[in-house]
């Protein structure tokens, strides 16, 4: 997988403003309020211009993002099917608390967004097999205890997997345990084949 560019949360917001659609996922360094998103968009536009990942047009207002980056962001926004995993506090599984990996299916393949707790994103095109491995890695490392080596941190943090129509299927994965719902049925225990099936990978 070849990364298009490293982008901050602010830059992601700016690219979405240029595209005219909101980012569909949580951002670890930007609150999802109108005021904070507007501030992030301004910071992001400035950053993209300084990094020469966007340009201006004397005859038009706004910025003109790098075409490859804009295409990857647009593909991610266009996707009807997204499969993702993110680190969250065990006390609040709905809250993004660390790294996240999300794969979005497009008409020509998959786009994977890997985000750090500091709000740095790597967007890249991927095959379905590469996308599946990227999402599963975060979940399996949490389950196996290799993501967090300290026992207390293993107890405090979990990995949440979401997939299926409207991300209706969800698994909560901790060190050596997992539970959740898949296609409306309760699930106990960790079985990576459930995620592989969501990707259509044998």
Placement of tokens 């990576």 in the chain = 192
Residue 30: what pLDDT?
Answer: 94
174 touches 90 (CB < 8 A): yes
Task: Indicate the length of the chain as a whole number.
Answer: 202
Q: Where are the domains of the chain?
A: 3-75, 80-199
Q: Give the integer Cα–Cα distance in Å for 33 and 122.
A: 24
pLDDT in tens, 138-170: 999 999 999 888 899 999 999 999 998 766 789
pLDDT at 5 > cutoff 80: no
- Return the DSSP state at 83: E
Q: Which residues pair with 161 in a beta bridge?
A: 85, 171
Beta bridge partners of 181: 170, 186
Cβ atoms within 10 Å, residue 179: 14
Residue 126: strand, helix, or coil = strand
Does this model's pTM top 0.85? My answer is yes
Q: What does the pLDDT look like over 55-113, one tens digit per residue? A: 765 455 566 888 888 888 888 898 878 999 999 999 999 888 889 999 999 888 899 99
Identify the pLDDT of residue 71.
86
- For 91, other C-beta atoms within 10 Å of its C-beta total 10
Query: Regarding predicted confidence, which is higher, 72 or 131?
Result: 131
Please give the pLDDT value at position 2: 61
Question: Tell me, what's the pLDDT at 58?
Answer: 42
Is the Cβ–Cβ distance between 69 and 52 less than 8 Å?
no
Q: Is a pLDDT exceeding 90 seen at residue 135?
A: yes
pLDDT grade, residue 3 (50/70/90)? low
Q: Which two tokens stand for residue 149?
A: 């080596």
Ranges 2-16, 35-49, 59-73: which has the least confidence? 59-73
Question: Residue range 174-186: average pLDDT?
Answer: 92
């Amino acid at each position: 997988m070849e990364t298009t560019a490293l982008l901050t949360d602010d830059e992601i917001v700016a690219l979405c403003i240029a595209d005219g659609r909101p980012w569909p996922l949580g951002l670890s360094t930007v609150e999802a309020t109108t005021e904070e998103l507007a501030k992030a968009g301004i910071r992001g536009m400035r950053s993209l211009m300084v990094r020469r990942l966007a340009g201006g047009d004397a005859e038009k207002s706004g910025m003109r993002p790098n075409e490859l980056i804009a295409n990857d962001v647009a593909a991610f926004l266009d996707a009807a099917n997204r499969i993702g995993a993110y680190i969250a506090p065990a006390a609040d599984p709905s809250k993004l608390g660390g790294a996240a990996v999300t794969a979005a299916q497009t008409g020509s393949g998959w786009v994977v967004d890997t985000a750090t707790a500091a709000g740095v994103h790597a967007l890249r095109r991927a095959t379905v097999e590469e996308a599946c491995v990227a999402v599963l890695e975060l979940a399996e490392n949490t389950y196996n205890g290799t993501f967090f080596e300290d026992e207390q941190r293993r107890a405090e943090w979990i990995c949440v997997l979401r997939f299926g129509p409207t991300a209706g299927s969800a698994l909560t994965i901790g060190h050596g345990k997992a539970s959740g719902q898949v296609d409306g049925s309760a699930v106990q225990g960790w079985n990576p084949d459930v995620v592989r099936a969501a990707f259509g990978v044998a």
